[in-house]
Copies of this chain bind each other. A is one copy, B any other.
């Protein structure tokens, strides 16, 4: 195993890796080495470019935080995330589609009181979202765990999360600020990559939800808004037609929360349909 060149190195690495005990890890590493080497050979990667790549990864590592997960963002930007989500989203027809990865929060989100305003600190119009958590036959899933995320209006890139009460009939209500377009955090290497690729940073406005219930596959998805100018230009490739919704505009009056509003507001009905485990 001496004098390895760009053609013989691949087989040498695979031979070295043949002692891996875990069959799945061996399969993953074999494919990783083959494809990584194919990439470097195909474009005849130079030493300078290799160093640039290593530096980029180090910079991404240094900038990585819970709110700005650089490696996850890079995966989204390169379309890897959409690929992985799509090839693992094999649910019966009628179930709500997956649109994002679940990210375990560092701190457990707070449970909102029924009717509480999740977004009272925002200037956007109010939106009232209601619906149910259902199985594919249309039966209510009582007391599911429903988590809503929104982009924090005070810190671009940060995410606020809250748990919503789901009643015994599977029903939930959310009063919040209507989501706005938001851009991918561009204060780190992932944003710099997007800029180097000459691609826009703006995402279509959306809510992100994670819904879990015993005996059902956990669902993490987005709810988009019809008419959004970025629906066909999502830099993270996440838009699915079944998740685009039509919010109803109201000039004011009685809200779904039973209050009276002098300002215009929006309403939307949206059900989450979970697949059995």
Contact = CB atoms under 8 A, between A and B. Distances in A.
Nearest to A242: B3
A231 B3 CA distance: 11
A6 interface: yes
A183 interface: no
Interface of A is mostly: helix
Nearest to A81: B50
Interface stretch (A57-65, A205-213, A249-257): A57-65
Given A51-B101, A61-B58, A197 B239 contact: no
Interface stretch (A26-34, A109-117, A161-169): A26-34
Copy number of this protein in the oligomer?
2
Interface of A: 1-6, 9-10, 12-13, 16-17, 19-22, 25, 27-29, 31-47, 49-51, 54, 57-58, 60-62, 64, 69-72, 75, 78-88, 101-102, 196-199, 231-235, 237, 239-241
Given A34-B39, A35-B39, 20 more contacts: A2-B231, A2-B240, A5-B86, A5-B87, A6-B86, A10-B79, A12-B237, A16-B197, A19-B198, A20-B198, A32-B39, A35-B42, A36-B39, A38-B38, A40-B87, A44-B87, A45-B87, A50-B84, A58-B61, A58-B70
